[in-house]
Amino acid sequence: MEKQLKRRKFLKGSAVAATATAGTIMGAPAIGQAAPTLKMQASWGGGIFLENAQSYVDRVNAMAGSALKLELLPVDSVVKTSQMQDAVHRGVLDAAHYVPAYWYSKSPVASLFGTGPCFGWSSQEVLGWVNYGGGQELFDELMGNLGLNLVSFFNSPMPAQPLGWFKEEIKDAGQMKGLKYRTVGLAADVLLEMGMSVVQLPGGEIQPAMKSGLIDAAEFNNPTSDRDFGMQDVSKHYHLASFHQSQEFFECTFNKKKYDALAPELQAILKFASEAESANFYWNNTLRYANDLTTLRDEQDVNVYRTPDSVMAAQLEAWDVVVERISGEDPFFAKVIESQKAYAKNVMNYLNLNQPDYKLAYDHYFA
């Protein structure tokens, strides 16, 4: 009888322990308690970037199951895009999907996380620096310096952004002087240094501004978005390749208090869904961009050019001036730049030595 009682106590204790362990592992809400729902506002009114934001949300929900729900809200549904970071900081929004250049006015360092100078690297390598070269730690330090209650993950390495749409073919950097041009972030400083007049506009306002003559030239990000905006209706001269924004990616930012309240495994899902979305973005968007560029050229009579090397060389010289000026004014900016340069010098040395000339192979088959 005594052995039976001891056995019952052991089994009961084991069941309680197993239940407690399962609850810890799964992070499931208590009985009768609804799973937490985080509302993430997108800064995109439609198009492929809104699809990308939804793809990240879908990945989180698929992995979290009934333990967490991430809900995507459309642009301006709670606050304006320019107010999104503050809204997440204050807890008005739980999360936001945008790019760091959108809050560049708080600190020029924001632009170094995606739209900074090109040290011979692409978005893939900048994300490598974020994850393995100390970039995430520097970003977190920036959040502390600014007093922002945020946790951010970066994903979706974008191809270099086109120089954009012009009223005529650009054959030399001198043609760009005096042009009223739309861009964002540190690129605005760079193109001002080149003698352009820069206007920072939301994506949806670019085409009407060019149509009305408010601006002479513009870029947004990629052939698919540009075609969706109808840029082919206001210009027939499209220049690809540029150093003004040669690398960029999305920022998924969360209110830190709400993020810290989640179980560790749910925090991990938010992070690893971001990493997974990087692969999906690159595979999906690269094909979409290529297809839409072909449509612009072959069906909508757009003249597509590669930006002349003289223009890109002038951009690099302008970057040098801008980086030196801001580094002299902001020691933390200089600290981030030095970290990036050290990573790029090391990693790109290997890649430049190892990568064959892919264009040589492409021309062999398709030229």
- How many other β-carbons are positioned within 10 Å of the β-carbon of residue 16? 10
Instruction: Read off the pLDDT of each residue in 337-361 and give the average, rounded to a whole number.
Output: 97
**What is the C-alpha to C-alpha distance for residues 74 and 281, in angstroms, rounded to an integer?**
19
Closest to 238 (Cα-Cα) out of 330, 300, 314: 300
Parallel/antiparallel/unpaired status of strands 217-218 and 180-182: parallel
Which domains are assigned to the chain? 37-158+247-286 (3.40.190.170)
**What is the C-alpha to C-alpha distance for residues 42 and 74, in angstroms, rounded to an integer?**
6
- Is-contact 131 139, C-beta < 8 A? no
Is residue 32's pLDDT more than 70? Answer: no
Q: What is the DSSP string of 83-97?
A: GHHHHHHHTSSSEEE
pLDDT, position 3:
45
pLDDT, position 291:
98
pLDDT, position 185:
84
Q: What is the DSSP letter of 214?
A: S
In 174-306, DSSP assigns E strands to 180-182, 197-199, 217-218, 237-240, 248-255, 303-306
Instruction: Read off the pLDDT of each residue in 255-278 and give the average, rounded to a whole number.
Output: 98
| pTM of the entire predicted model | 0.88
pLDDT, position 25:
37
Residue range 93-149, pLDDT digits in tens:
999 999 998 998 899 999 999 899 999 999 999 999 999 999 999 999 999 999 999
Is residue 14's pLDDT more than 50? Answer: no
pLDDT, position 353:
98
Residue 9: pLDDT band (50, 70, 90) is: very low
pLDDT, position 199:
87
Residue 29: pLDDT band (50, 70, 90) is: low
